[in-house]
Amino acid sequence: MDGAQARVEQAISKMVNSLDTECLRRMQVDMYQCSAKCCQDSKASLEDVQKCIDNCSRDVNKAQAYLQNEIELFQNRLQRCAMGCQDKLRDELPAKPSDEEKVKVMSSLEKCVIQCADKHVELVPGLTKKMLDTLKNRNF
């Protein structure tokens, strides 16, 4: 199961890196340039400069919250799939399983969880595209 977990983590990491390089960094550049302009206004009050900076960072903060939420939803789906495997096999297990039955159930559980992981890894490209579209359209 460790290999399945590693594949999921690698897919998520690749997705995050793609979102960062294709969209978030540009948003951050814009945010920092906007914030620098706020600070260049020597006539503005400290409060006005802070409001300006907060306004500049609003989209980046919303984008990061959106991404965090989507990744959490994805991880929750994966976890529910694995829990479904556990529930199914628990229901099949007799009240007093033999050692042989326990080994068989653990093997079945591992296969089921690996299938969940593989299925969810296959979903990552579509999720990445959806998230990129949402970020590019600032629809978060």
Size of the chain, expressed as the number of residues it contains = 140
At position 26, the amino acid (one-letter code) is R
pLDDT of residue 65: 96
Residue 16 tokens read as 């995050």
pLDDT digits (tens, 9 = 90+) for 35-85: 999 999 999 999 999 999 999 999 999 999 999 999 999 999 999 999 999
| Res. 1: pLDDT tops 70 | no
CA 136 to chain centre: 17
pLDDT digits (tens, 9 = 90+) for 79-105: 999 999 999 998 988 889 899 988 999
pLDDT of residue 9: 93
DSSP reduced 3-state for 13: helix
Residue 88 tokens read as 């199914």
pLDDT of residue 93: 85
